[in-house]
Structures are given as structure tokens and as C-alpha cells.
Amino acid sequence: MILRFIKAYALDSMMRGVVWVVIRERRTPPAELGPMLRQARERAGLGLREVARAVDLSPGYLWHLEAAERCPSVTVAHRLAAVLEFEETELAQLLAAAVDDAGRDHPSRIRVA
């Protein structure tokens, strides 16, 4: 994971001084991931909205995944695998591109029961 630290000045009157802000660089998936996801969806005979609904994603986010503009989280990758029938190599490719510290797997979003 690539992190950049920038110095920002607190604008709130209660917070004085310097605040360090962490900016995570967006990772890009392999170019072949998007077309592979689209082909798997079309093989299953499902529309983009149907798959998005089944895996609890917005259609726009699924579109970004299919356009190879976003990396799925590990959670999203497993949900896609449960809905779409991937070949063994496709599943390995999907899981290799999945990130474990963003989206639904970001540490601030994980709920402990």
C-alpha cells in the first residue's frame, strides 16, 4: 500500500496546530480484469443491475470494476464469485487483484460482533 502524508492546518478553532493527513494512492487493477468480469457476467446471462443487486453494490461501482478502473475489496470479490461462475484461472485473477484495506474491507468499516 502506498501512503502519502501531507501537512494540513486545522481550520476548526478547537483544533490548533498541524494535522497530518494520510492519503492512500488509488490502486488500479490489471487491464484484463474488467473484460474478464464482464464476460463472466454475460456468460451467466445476467445484466449489470442484476449482479449489482445480488452482491449489494451500486451499478455504477460494478461498472467501474468492469471498466478496470477500480480494484474490488476481498469481500466484494468473494460476493462476485458466489454469484458469477468463474473459471479457476479467472477466480485466481480476481482474488489476486482484490485489496484487503479498502472499500468494505477498510479497517474503519469492519464491525466486530
pLDDT in tens, 13-29: 455 555 555 556 667 88
User: 71 by DSSP, 3-state: which?
Assistant: coil
Lowest mean pLDDT among 1-10, 22-31, 53-62, 96-105: 1-10
Determine if the pTM surpasses 0.75: no
How far is 9 from 54, CA to CA, in rounded Å?
Answer: 43
Chain centroid, CA 13 distance in Å: 36
Lowest mean pLDDT among 13-17, 36-40, 64-68: 13-17
Which residues make Cβ contacts (< 8 Å) with residue 12, sequence separation at least 6? none
